[in-house]
Structure 1
């Protein structure tokens, strides 16, 4: 059972109305009474992702045995906005560096990426609302405290957000084996680093929205790196190139 889960109809309604950020809502398929309708209205109002599942699935998730047809996963930390991330860069008088995560599902990967973002000087992380892990307690632990200093924004549509950031002068590079060597690309300036799903990589629609595709040179018997490791390698190539242009990174 997820340690950030809450169960029961009234508890979940009050969580919504009390301003809690609910990442995911699991609702028993086929329930259509007034209270369930109220919960679904609140979910729609707050942009919460709803999963309709069978009773057996809810029973297996439940710790109390009294879920009443609904279980919600509450975010352990508050989300920032994309504007907050850009404002952080402006306050530091630096060109924005943002990590865009296209469907990272493993909380340990997300936590490690948030940690890398903090230590490499990135100004924030952007994740999608759907089909991705949110800010759970496990993510917070894996970030080793970096979650307290690194803004994480959750958006409905990654491609739309990228287009808006392009209009603001940002360009994007994604990690993919079929791209140019990362050493041959100019990774300075206002940049978004796009990291894909652990199994499928960067989706085709997001890849088409990127300006460059960067590959990490590899010599071995397998063909891919862990998502958070790939992110770390590319992030520090960005750091290396910025230092070469005079940026300061020492504490």
Structure 2
């Protein structure tokens, strides 16, 4: 099975000031976010990636470029996938989180996100459906082209990645707020024939060279197995 590494973009100016950027154009990484993206790229530099797919928004493309700078010159180029772009927050886009927290919809987003529909935006169920479908489709394509040892990266957004992880974990969307995905963090998922395997979540440190090992087996090891060499 192939391995997808879900990378959230680094911190942005909007993150730092408590603004819900949404799909606003021109929102870029701040100094901290650029450093975070470089560290993510350095960690991934030991892994031969077969593909880097990014949300079309600038902050994700910046993070994707930082990752590719640590890959060989003949490595993959960034491809854009609109289905993993940020949630359409509608009228909430550009608002201060402190103000949005006073809206009745805020508690729905926190406790029953499957029922949340942003005013003149999309529902969180639609957000999850499109992003999960895109990741599974891309993963299957990379495995078909490059084999079961293929490792690829998808650079996206916090709520998008949380919804993908919830699906892989078999969690209802209403539980996805239990998952934390920090800026420039890495989460690793493998889609097997029997079930997805969530290898790690919200990782911002540690060696990843073990991902160069032989392709993983489909069956889960009873008792937990020996882990990577």
- In terms of fraction of residues, the more strand-rich structure is 1
**What TM-score bracket applies, with the shorter chain setting the length?**
0.3 to 0.5
Report which of the two structures shows the higher radius of gyration computed on alpha carbons.
1
Structure 2 length-normalised TM: 0.35
Structure 1 length-normalised TM: 0.33
Of structures 1 and 2, the one scoring higher in RCO (CA 8 A, sep 6+) is 2
